[in-house]
């Protein structure tokens, strides 16, 4: 499981709104049983108000999704089973969004 890999959200209850999770945790921490992930949510009208730098848009399996870095959190690595892609080429945008949440700049 690599940093920037995208997985199907393991929670069927939440998958309608948040279909995917992206692993943002460094590969240096692979020994841990958890992974820090950020939700990739379907665009909804209320989310349009989020600054684009803080909530960039991506496409996963042909579906537009928004990164929600303010909702980052840990999840048990064993729950991340269905890898659907990677956002490695866009990692700079994810790091920038996380930085915007932390620094406000």
Domains of the chain, each with CATH number or no CATH: 5-103 (2.30.30.110)
- Reading phi first (left if > 0) and then psi (alpha if -120 to 50, else beta), residue 30 is in alpha
Inter-residue contact 91 to 5 (CB < 8 Å): no
> Residue 45: pLDDT above 80?
no
> Residue 105: pLDDT above 80?
no
The predicted pLDDT at position 1 comes to: 87
pLDDT interval class at 32 (50, 70, 90): very high
> Residue 73: pLDDT above 70?
yes
The predicted pLDDT at position 47 comes to: 65
Rounded to the nearest angstrom, the gap between the alpha carbon of residue 55 and the centroid of all alpha carbons in its chain is: 10
Question: Number of helices (H) and strands (E), helices first, in the chain?
Answer: 1, 7
Average pLDDT over residues 44-64: 84
Q: Residue 17: CB partners within 8 Å, gap ≥ 6?
A: 41, 42, 44
Average pLDDT over residues 25-50: 89
């Amino acid at each position: 499981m690599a940093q920037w890999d995208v997985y199907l959200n393991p929670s069927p209850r939440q998958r309608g709104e948040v279909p995917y999770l992206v692993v943002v945790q460094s590969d240096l921490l692979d020994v841990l049983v958890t992974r820090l992930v950020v939700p990739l949510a379907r665009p909804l009208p209320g989310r349009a108000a989020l600054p684009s730098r803080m909530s960039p848009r991506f496409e996963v399996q042909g579906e537009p999704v928004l990164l929600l870095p303010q909702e980052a959190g840990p999840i048990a690595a064993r729950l991340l089973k269905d890898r659907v892609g990677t956002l490695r080429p866009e990692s700079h945008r994810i790091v920038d969004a996380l930085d915007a949440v932390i620094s406000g700049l």
